[in-house]
Structure 1
Amino acid sequence: MVNAWLPVTETLARSAAVIIVAVLLDLLLGDPRWLPHPVVGIGRLISFTEKALRRSIPNERAAGILLLFITVGLTYSLAYLFLRGAYGISPYLGSATAAFLAWTCLAARSLHRESRLVADALLRGDIQEARRYLSYIVGRDTAELEAPEIWRGVVETVAENTSDGVIAPLFYLMLGGPALGLAYKAVNTLDSMVGYKNERYLRFGWASARFDDLANYIPARLTGLLMVIAAPLVGLSARSAWRIMLRDGRNHSSPNSGVSEAAAAGALAVQLGGLNHYFGKPVEKPTIGDACGPLTPEAYRGAVRLMYGAEILLVAGFLVVANLCFSP
């Protein structure tokens, strides 16, 4: 019995080490622009495959389903074979490769850095620069936004992407290692490239958008729960985070994004959602949270603390489980 348990504990030990290294690399270095990134390759694969499928398959929905299977299947298979080859050469090379690939799945530092460009521009009074930087991280029109709307946009972005940029990748890395983590990133990239509800992608991107909803269902709710637990640890309200998450978590066009936004809105005692413009057209979204106070730099800083708090809690929880499994 003990001998049968050893491979499990060894695998958990290796996974824990890989995740710790990956998280530390992300926190220290973020996403260096000079470094080749698997997601760039996934994006190119999607673009190439989309063109090929559109030329060869007239049924857009069938072509979109095939795009999903090809992209996710090929990403997982290549990552798995790459890791297996690295471990076949050396356990040390395998672990280093796994840590590198896991690192590329995480985006906490990058999210902080990109959102801080918006915040810093606002704080020095350069609203044009703040609008420009915000346009890089949101889909809405930003050219006419005033400071309160810009703060709302950046807080919403941090809250939403805490789930699909930090917690969800960690969840899949813990569940199935770097190959599954990269498969999740493939799903996420598909949704960002073809998951639009417009004439070009409404049918072609249907499968990718729905699969992204499915892949994020558990991580989104885990993110909300982690935000609630993290709130008092970072000087915010757990009670309000829990109440607003339960009340307003469905006040979003996405079945998942509203959960983390609602938890953040409650913890920060602010109101998110409302009127946005997309390609010049107004879109009124349901509000999330109560307008207890204005959206300010402190709200942004609180959202960032929540993101890191949720990440640390998830990693700590995984390490506790791993340590219990190591114990005789």
Structure 2
Amino acid sequence: MNSIWILPASLLLDIGFGDPKGFPHPVRLIGKFARYMEKFTRKYISSERFAGIITSFSVYSISFIFTWIIIEFSRYLHPFLGELISAFVIYTSIALKDLLDHSKDVYSALHENDLEKARTMVGRIVGRDTANLEQPDIVRAGLESVGESLVDGITAPLFFAALGGPSFAMLYRSINTLDSLFGYKNDTYLKFGWASARMDDLANYIPARLTAPILCISSAILGFHPLRSFKILIRDGRKHPSPNSGLCEAALAGALKIQLGGKNYYSGVPSEKPKLGDPDRKLVPNLILDANRIVFLTSILSSILFLGLGQVIHLAFGTFFQS
């Protein structure tokens, strides 16, 4: 991206508007196209793994190319129009406001002592069973969702937008969307979703490793526990089954001096996740607000770092990485 204002403008749009209800969000279009491709490839390709590969790379390609065509056509009409469309596309790839709003809904329900409502609210942002969760487990679920979503919902799309522009931001969003749709280790998607899950791990690898240390810095600025955050990041960050998700969760656990992880249930089946951090503090609702403050500042600092990296790359390589 040539214009340095595009990325900050995109982030401000997300902070201000989030994802309005009824808005024709590109991620929903990506999801619909992915489901169509799944039906098509499963029908005509006997190998589930190969069908999944074809589905994934078809969606990735269309997402990238279609965005590139829109941006280039708008630039052809007027350079400033191209920049406006670029900012809008990047804005749709970010989910900071939605993450903060959904976690605040969980906090509000707990603050009102409405456990049933809190279970419903947290069920909107996690995949585990929530019908029987008590307050500490609801808080833990909310915090784990905030920590995990920091990368794939905010800093990773910012990273690809800063280094490659709006087309790369939308490419990343398609990768993350397909992992959400197909990246399950069950009979239906274990083979079909293999490529989607591996691509998501690859795409998040660098952003996760840049974001986690920034989270430690944010915890220092906000008066939390940066040394503990960094210690737990190093000690526990790689315990998570995902090569990326555990890093920010561990750093967040250390910053708040709490322990995340433990037993969850998925469709009634227990799943034991590794424990991240130490249980020095009880899991109380106010921790959700503390986590939101850390996530918000981490997002801002990450965007500044990524914008700087993008400008260095642009100066070094010219238009090679432009969308």
With normalisation by structure 2, the TM-score equals 0.94
Partner residue in 1 for 2:287: 299
SS at match of 1:285: strand
Runs of 4+ in 1 over 3 A off after TM superposition: 318-326
Which amino acid is 2:36 matched to? F
Q: What is the deviation of 1:223?
A: 1.3
Partner residue in 2 for 1:124: 112
Partner residue in 2 for 1:43: 31
1:192 and 2:177 are equivalent in the alignment: no
Q: What is the deviation of 1:318?
A: 4.1
Q: How does 1:77-156 map to 2 (within 5 A)?
A: 77-156=65-144
Which structure 2 segments of 5+ residues have no match? 316-323
In structure 1, distance between residues paired with 2:134 and 2:288: 16
Q: What is the deviation of 1:93?
A: 1.3
Supply the RMSD in Å over aligned alpha carbons: 1.4
Out of 39, 59, 73, the position equivalent to 2:61 is 73
- Deviation per CA, 1:80-135, whole angstroms, max 9, x where unpaired? 00100011001121111111101001111000011111110111011101101111
Q: What is the deviation of 1:323?
A: 7.7
Q: How does 1:280-299 map to 2 (within 5 A)?
A: 280-299=268-287
In structure 1, distance between residues paired with 2:10 and 2:21: 17
Partner residue in 2 for 1:3: none
Q: How does 1:28-67 map to 2 (within 5 A)?
A: 28-67=16-55
1:251 and 2:255 are equivalent in the alignment: no
SS at match of 2:224: coil
Q: What is the deviation of 1:315?
A: 2.2
Out of 188, 195, 206, the position equivalent to 1:218 is 206
The answer as to whether partners of 2:158 and 2:306 remain within 8 angstroms in 1 is no
Partner residue in 2 for 1:21: 9
Q: What is the deviation of 1:34?
A: 2.9
- Deviation per CA, 1:207-252, whole angstroms, max 9, x where unpaired? 1001111111111111101101111111211101100000000121
In structure 2, distance between residues paired with 1:196 and 1:39: 19
In structure 2, distance between residues paired with 1:319 and 1:276: 38
In structure 2, distance between residues paired with 1:24 and 1:208: 30
In structure 2, distance between residues paired with 1:33 and 1:234: 32
In structure 1, distance between residues paired with 2:270 and 2:39: 31
Q: What is the deviation of 1:319?
A: 4.9
Q: What is the deviation of 1:79?
A: 0.2
1:309 and 2:309 are equivalent in the alignment: no
In structure 2, distance between residues paired with 1:33 and 1:93: 25
Q: What is the deviation of 1:316?
A: 2.4
In structure 1, distance between residues paired with 2:271 and 2:67: 40
Q: Structure 1 vs Structure 2: percent identity of aligned residues?
A: 43
Which amino acid is 2:69 matched to? L
Q: Which moved more, 1:29-38 or 1:208-217?
A: 29-38
Which amino acid is 1:99 matched to? A
With normalisation by structure 1, the TM-score equals 0.93
